[in-house]
């Protein structure tokens, strides 16, 4: 069978695993990739993005590849895009299957949509293979675990299969389908050493997955150190990588495992890397071993500078004191720290958001990634926001907008201020508190000026360690196309340049 994936904006490790398992099972796969020009995490000008007609290019891809089925992966914010892709596939009367965290959170809504024939709930690696095998063999597809389907108006819901216990049995992710688009900096190799995170943060999908998978095996799983090193050796050889980006939700969960892994990694791979840590999982020994093994940067969720809000509403479980300790340990080890902070959680007051700004000032971390809270379906915090009338659940189930959230979707009296806090947080290390306060209080700087300033900071300070998207040349090409369109008064829409 020929399976065509479609994805937008960034490399998806999920899709890479699905593709690898299908290829191993004897099927052929390809990818349509929408670069999301001017609508990615660093450059956000949706009006410019709309000049590129990705649907046209997707249809061209369908015509040239002639797939048997289109497979789509959705996070909540990608869901509107995925619906548009499915609509294009339906013009060719192709069957569609959708999976990913949004399909997993809201299968009962997604399956109602005529654009989707199959919905995958949870891990898709072997579920998709079973589905494709069944379609190929003309077998009944209504009884495949994890796959919901429908026929003649009847929806067939199936059980969740056990979690994949031994991750080493999976083939290595199929990077080629993304790398061939030249959309990523392939020298910077994104990898997972395991799956799952045991913490219970109320805004994150993990606590919901733990419930979904209850009785279905161990939720937090690690690959063997040897298996990961084998993948990285292959990547060094094949892609000449020079940086490794461990994207596990929390890389440092199991200290003994990490220490063992780091020593093998240093010996066999010896490349600089970045990873995500939870403040409660780092001690001096671990920090020094991380550094010795080549750790250039860690990313850590701070979430809020208001200790009470952080630990009661968000259930982060980290005290201010613990943050000070962990940050000191990491600084002593000479590791660059990026902290993530969220503004605009339900009922968050301006004073609480100001606490976050002051806290960021006090902890003096190297880089700050700030975001506006979005109530993701089935998360505890979304349920809470809905229970107090701050959000319309129907709206969030249909997904919203692009990858970047410009505004809060909550009905809050201080919604404009939320946005200013989120934007100005990036400047905490560069401006004194009283200036930040003036900017937050009085909205006299335009949104575009602030955004341009922020993008400027990101590039000037190279804030993204190992996260360089490798898109400089593509952006140049995209800009040239726009200039050409206007210089020649070309009324046609710009056709997206496929590499």
Residues that bind ligand SF4 (CB under 6 A): 197, 199, 201, 204, 206, 249-250, 278, 301
Report the partner that residue 305 touches, choosing among ligand B12, ligand SF4, none (CB closer than 5 to 8 A by kind): none
Angle at CA of residue 306, ends 301 and 308, nearest 5°:
100
**70 close to 44: Cβ distance less than 8 angstroms:** no
Decide: is 481 part of the binding site for ligand B12 (CB under 6 A).
no
**Cβ-based nearer residue to ligand SF4, 77 or 206:** 206
**Cβ-based nearer residue to ligand SF4, 78 or 197:** 197
Residues of the chain by 3-state class (helix, strand, coil), percent to 5: 45, 15, 40
Minimal distance, residue 392 CB to ligand SF4, in Å: 24
**Cβ-based nearer residue to ligand SF4, 263 or 280:** 280
**Cβ-based nearer residue to ligand SF4, 312 or 461:** 312
Q: Is the dihedral of CA 38, 44, 45, 47 positive or negative?
A: positive
Stretch that binds ligand B12, among 7-15, 54-62, 306-314, 411-419 (CB under 6 A): 7-15
**405 close to 371: Cβ distance less than 8 angstroms:** yes
What residues form DSSP beta bridges with 99? 73
Query: Scanning residues 219 to 258, which ones bind ligand B12 (CB under 6 A)?
Result: 247, 249
Size of residue set near ligand B12 by CB under 6 A: 37
Query: Scanning residues 387 to 406, which ones bind ligand B12 (CB under 6 A)?
Result: 403-405
Please write down the long-range contacts of 408-415, taking CB distance under 8 Å and 24 or more positions apart. Answer: 408/344, 408/372, 408/373, 409/374, 409/375, 410/344, 410/346, 410/373, 410/375, 410/385, 412/344, 412/347, 412/348, 414/349, 414/350, 415/344
Instruction: Name, in order, each residue with C-beta under 8 angstroms of 321's C-beta and a sequence gap of 6 or more.
Output: none
Region label for 245, one of left (φ > 0), alpha (ψ between -120 and 50) or beta (otherwise): beta
Neighbours of 342 (CB within 10 A): 25
Minimal distance, residue 326 CB to ligand B12, in Å: 20
**Cβ-based nearer residue to ligand SF4, 281 or 350:** 281
Instruction: Name, in order, each residue with C-beta under 8 angstroms of 140's C-beta and a sequence gap of 6 or more.
Output: 134
Decide: is 13 part of the binding site for ligand B12 (CB under 6 A).
yes
Minimal distance, residue 429 CB to ligand SF4, in Å: 23
Stretch that binds ligand B12, among 12-20, 133-141, 181-189, 408-416 (CB under 6 A): 12-20
**Cβ-based nearer residue to ligand SF4, 200 or 216:** 200
64 φ, ψ to 5°?
-80, -35
**Cβ-based nearer residue to ligand B12, 374 or 496:** 374
Report the partner that residue 199 touches, choosing among ligand SF4, ligand B12, none (CB closer than 5 to 8 A by kind): ligand SF4
**Quick one: which of 17, 265, 343, 384 contacts ligand B12 (CB under 6 A)?**
17
Please state, in angstroms and rounded to a whole number, the distance separating the CA atoms of residues 13 and 18: 9
Give the residues lining the site for ligand B12 (CB under 6 A): 9-10, 12-14, 17-18, 41, 71-73, 75-78, 97-102, 105, 120, 123-125, 128, 192, 204-205, 247, 249, 371, 376, 403-405
């Amino acid at each position: 069978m020929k399976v065509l994936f479609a994805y937008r904006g960034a490399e998806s490790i999920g899709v890479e695993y699905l593709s690898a398992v299908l290829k191993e099972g004897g099927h052929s796969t390809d990818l349509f990739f929408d670069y999301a020009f001017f609508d990615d995490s660093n450059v956000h000008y949706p009006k410019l993005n709309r000049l590129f007609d990705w649907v046209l290019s997707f249809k061209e891809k369908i015509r040239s590849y002639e797939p048997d089925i289109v497979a789509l992966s959705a996070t909540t914010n990608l869901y509107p895009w995925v619906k548009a892709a499915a609509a294009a596939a339906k013009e060719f009367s192709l069957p569609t299957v959708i999976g990913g965290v949004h399909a997993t959170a809201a299968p009962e809504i997604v399956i109602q949509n005529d654009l989707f024939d199959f919905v995958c709930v949870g891990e898709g690696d072997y579920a998709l293979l079973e589905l494709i095998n069944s379609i190929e063999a003309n077998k009944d597809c209504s009884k495949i675990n994890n796959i919901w389907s429908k026929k003649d108006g009847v929806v067939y819901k199936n059980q969740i299969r056990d979690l994949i216990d031994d991750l080493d049995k999976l083939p290595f992710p199929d990077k080629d389908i993304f790398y061939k688009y030249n959309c990523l900096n392939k020298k910077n190799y994104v990898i997972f050493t395991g799956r799952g995170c045991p913490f219970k943060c109320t805004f994150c999908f993990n606590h919901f997955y733990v419930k979904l998978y209850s009785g279905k095996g161990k939720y937090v799983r690690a690959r063997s150190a040897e298996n990961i090193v084998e993948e990285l050796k292959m990547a060094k050889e094949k892609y000449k990588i020079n940086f490794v980006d461990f994207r596990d939700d929390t890389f440092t969960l199991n200290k003994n495992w990490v220490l063992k892994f780091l020593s093998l990694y240093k010996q066999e791979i010896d490349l600089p890397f970045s990873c995500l840590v939870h403040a409660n999982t780092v001690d001096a020994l671990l920090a020094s071993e991380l550094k010795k093994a080549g750790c250039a940067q860690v990313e850590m969720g701070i979430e809020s500078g208001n200790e009470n809000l952080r630990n009661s509403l968000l259930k982060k479980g980290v005290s201010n004191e613990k943050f000070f300790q962990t940050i000191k340990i990491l600084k002593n080890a000479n590791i660059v720290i990026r902290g993530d902070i969220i503004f605009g959680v339900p009922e968050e007051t301006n004073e609480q958001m100001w606490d976050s700004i002051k806290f960021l000032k006090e902890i003096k971390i190297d880089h700050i990634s700030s975001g506006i809270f979005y109530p993701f379906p089935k998360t505890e915090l979304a349920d809470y926001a809905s229970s107090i009338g701050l959000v319309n659940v129907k709206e969030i189930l249909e997904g919203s907008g692009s990858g970047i959230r410009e505004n809060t979707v909550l009905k809050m009296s201080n919604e404009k201020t939320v946005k200013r806090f989120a934007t100005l947080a990036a400047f905490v290390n560069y401006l004194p508190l009283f200036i930040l306060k003036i900017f937050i209080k009085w909205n006299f700087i335009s949104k575009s000026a602030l955004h341009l300033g922020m993008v400027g900071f990101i590039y000037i300070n190279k804030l993204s360690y190992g996260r360089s998207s490798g898109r400089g040349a593509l952006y140049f090409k995209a800009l040239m196309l726009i200039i050409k369109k206007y210089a020649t008064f070309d009324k046609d829409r710009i056709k997206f340049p496929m590499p």
